[in-house]
Amino acid sequence: MKYLGVLFVFLFIFSVAVLYIVIGEGDLVNIIDVTEHEESLYDDTKNNGTADNFLNLSVLQPLPPVSVSEVVISENWHEFTVYVYDFESNDIFHGKLDDYLCGVVFAEMPSTFEVEALKAQAVAARSYYVYKTLNSSENERELHRGADICTDPTHCKAYISYEKARNKWGEEYISPLWGKVEKAVTDTSGQIIVYESEPAIAVFHAISNKNTESAENIWGGNVPYLVSVPTSESENADIITNFSTIIEYNSEELKSKLISNGFRGDFDKNPEKWIGSIVLNSSGRVDNIEINSKLISGNRMREIFSLRSADFTLEYKKTDDKFIFSVKGYGHGVGMSQYGANLMAREGKSYKDILLWYYAGVDIINIYEKPFP
Ligand SMILES: [Zn+2]
């Protein structure tokens, strides 16, 4: 009888070991994930901010509704381990949610910003993480090697570890700023924004001009809380680094860039005649521009000519043979404006005021708290 017990324990250990070897590390992460169910410095010298948080179009496709009260609200979030795919090293690392968020806020927003703006960024990043965790498609999970989220700012959220930031900018400079970001994250611990009880895709951008942009104008799908709202950057342009930028191309460069990007149209011998009317959309950005009698969208122009935003004017200066783009703002313009958030914080607004302003009609809830408020 005694030997039978020993044999049983041995068999159990053996089968677990075999299972681990067969599944492999990447898949194991995926299985754990599913079963637990477990989403500059702008002083421009020490930049730890990124301008844009582009959305994959698929993210905006209709998804099965997730009820916050049933799925999200859980004391278990305290225990949750976040799995993050590092797109640069191709590794997966893991940690507690708020530790991960410190690295995100530090990478996404200048940590010299006001505390209330950093808090708003922390809540937006947490909301995005929760959304992603609950809604990631199979394809996305595969792309993330089974992890919840990745560190590619053009796909999910930028991230930097304390060690990396310290090595890059030095401990003396980084330590107090990291402490400030950490406080913004822990002071808002558990808070996310929801729209009609579903976690919000809290996208954001660096700088708008007079209005933010709607998700519909950028990605084609209407998202009720990602609509255009007024913002005050244009009134404070003098204190925002690179609020306005100029980009110039000569006529040959302009023409070849258009052609290499699939533009099919005849170019008049006289470049003065190339540009026709420019139509603005409701947010004040370029909806479309007429070039040689063909229409190109403002966003496409932004991509082709590497403009910081689709809020631009275009003129031709014959004497220098120069097409001059005068651009205002930075980023796609959807959701919270980071500079706008900082300006609101400077005026004494709280992170809640900021979030409720930039994400229309949302509520702020705490995923650790029961019952559902
Ligand atoms: Zn990703």
Using one digit for the tens of pLDDT, what is the confidence trace for 219-238?
A: 888 999 999 999 999 999 99
Same domain, 353 and 210: yes
Q: Tens digit of pLDDT for each residue in 336-360?
A: 999 999 999 999 999 999 999 999 9
How many C-alpha atoms does 105 have within 13 Å on its Cβ side?
Answer: 34
pTM score of the predicted model: 0.79
Sign of CA dihedral 360, 151, 149, 55: positive
pLDDT tier, 14 (very low <50, low <70, confident <90, very high otherwise):
very low
What is the Å distance from ligand 1's center to 139 Cα? 11
| pLDDT tens-digit series, residues 164-223 | 999 999 999 999 999 999 999 999 999 999 999 889 999 999 999 999 999 999 988 899
Q: How far is the CA of 229 from the centre of ligand 1 (A)?
A: 27
Question: Does 205 lie in the same domain as 133?
Answer: yes
Smallest CA-to-CA distance from 207 within 177, 169, 245, 173 is with 245
Residue 250 has phi, psi (to 5 degrees) of -80, 170
Task: Answer yes or no: is 11 within a domain.
Answer: no
Which H helix or E strand runs over 28? helix 2-35
How far is the centre of ligand 1, averaged over its atoms, from the C-alpha of 132 (Å)?
9
CA dist list (Å): 106 to 113, 121, 182: 11, 10, 9
Nearest Cα neighbor of 26 from 109, 92, 89 is 92
Domains held by the chain: number? 2
Does 279 share its domain with 179?
Answer: no
One domain, residues 52 and 153 = yes
In this structure, is residue 19 part of a structural domain? no
Whether residues 217 and 338 fall in one domain: yes
71 with 132, same domain: the answer is: yes
pLDDT reported for residue 26: 24
* Residues 223, 127 share a domain: yes
In a domain, 125, yes or no: yes
310: containing domain: 244-328
Residues 323 and 292 in one domain: yes
- 243-268 confidence digits (pLDDT tens): 999 999 999 999 999 999 998 878 99
**Domain co-membership, 54 together with 203:** yes
d(CA 94, CA 83): 4
Claim to verify: residue 68 and residue 90 sit in the same structural domain:
yes
Domain membership flag for residue 372? no
Task: Identify whether residues 117 and 187 lie together within a single domain.
Answer: yes
My answer on whether 64 and 154 are in the same domain is yes
Between the CA of 125 and the centroid of ligand 1 the distance, in Å, is: 13
